[in-house]
Amino acid sequence: MGKPVFINSYYTCQIMAATGMLAGRIALVTGAGSGIGRAVCRVMAREGAAVAAVDLNQEAAHATIQGLPTAGSMSHQAFCADVSSGGSVSELVQNVRAAFSALPTVAVNSAGITQDAFMLKMPEERFDKVIAVNLKGTFLVNQTLARALVSEGITGASIVNIASIVGKTGNIGQANYAASKAGVIGLTKTAAMELGRKGIRVNAVLPGFTETPMTDVIPEKVKATVTSLIPLNRMGQPEEIAEACLFLASDRASYITGAALEVTGGLSA
Ligand code: NAP
């Protein structure tokens, strides 16, 4: 009877020792003013990272950094940027570099939007807008940060791109969104191949149906139908997606790159 107690306390010690998985790291998080991005900031700050919280809505990014646990001597900072603009992303990386006196070695790309419509009725502008933010925005942050890291000879970095299970399954009313997220998976795998030798890992997290402001607008009846298809029989919480991002960002995932990790409660393609 003594053995299980020993095993339990052993694992408890391991979990306790896990605090500080990102100690001393700077983590840049886009879409940080809401939902999954905000949860990622909380989890990364809990694990000792100094957070650069980035959002189109600077007030929301500021609200996110309020109340985050402090990361040693470095304070968290909020930044305003539009990820769909190359100029804005370049300025962002320079500003983060200047504010922290170092480049981030962790980045999570969570900025994203939906603009749903049936394909037969979808205006061209809605298609372009969703691709511009979700796919091009993710590309620009990957490219700009990786260029800066490579030019400074910094290795041991990890980028996590938030895609979606919809990028594999497709979804009625989301031709633009599903295409953007399929693109993020392809971008991630390519970036992983090109950047591996330069000491940068790149992975994707594919959330399923997650409770955030993005899904708050979905009618309850539709939510109930989708939830009934999820093996765990509930929507995900943003923190559950954030924990997967933390793992991929940390050195515990040191041999993982180019992966597309589904965090869906069992809903799969
Ligand atoms: P959310 O609560 O709407 O958060 C998205 C954040 O991104 C918002 O703060 C938004 O700012 C910001 N943003 C939008 N456009 C931007 C831009 N051009 N530049 C910078 N920031 C921008 O959504 P979420 O549910 O947390 O989604 C986060 C990511 O997870 C997205 O990539 C989404 O596609 C993905 N995802 C979500 C689910 C889900 O079920 N929730 C499932 C799969 C994947 P504003 O509020 O000012 O627009």
**Domains plus CATH for the chain?**
10-263 (3.40.50.720)
- Ligand 1 neighbour 111 (Cβ under 6 A): yes
3-state class of 167 per DSSP?
helix
Residue 104 Cβ contacting ligand 1 at under 6 Å: no
d(CA 124, CA 181): 18
> How many residues are recorded in the chain?
269
Structure tokens at 82: 């539009």
As given in the structure block, the two tokens for residue 50 are 């100094």
In the reported structure, the alpha carbon of residue 113 is separated from the centroid of ligand 1 by a whole-number distance in angstroms of 5
Residues 209, 215: contact at Cβ < 8 Å?
yes
The question of whether 177 is a catalytic residue gets the answer yes
Kindly give the confidence (pLDDT) of every residue in the chain, 269 residues in length, as a single tens digit, with 9 standing for 90 and above: 333 333 344 333 333 333 699 999 999 999 999 999 999 999 999 999 999 999 999 999 999 999 899 877 789 999 999 999 999 999 999 999 999 999 999 999 999 999 999 999 999 999 999 999 999 999 999 999 999 999 999 999 999 999 999 999 999 999 999 999 999 999 999 999 999 999 999 999 999 999 999 999 999 999 999 999 999 999 999 999 999 999 999 999 999 999 999 999 999 88
**Ligand 1 centre from 11 Cα, in Å?**
35
Concatenated DSSP letters for 168-224?
HH--TTBHHHHHHHHHHHHHHHHHHHHHGGGTEEEEEEEE-SB-SHHHHTS-HHHHH
**DSSP element (H, E) containing 226:** helix 220-228
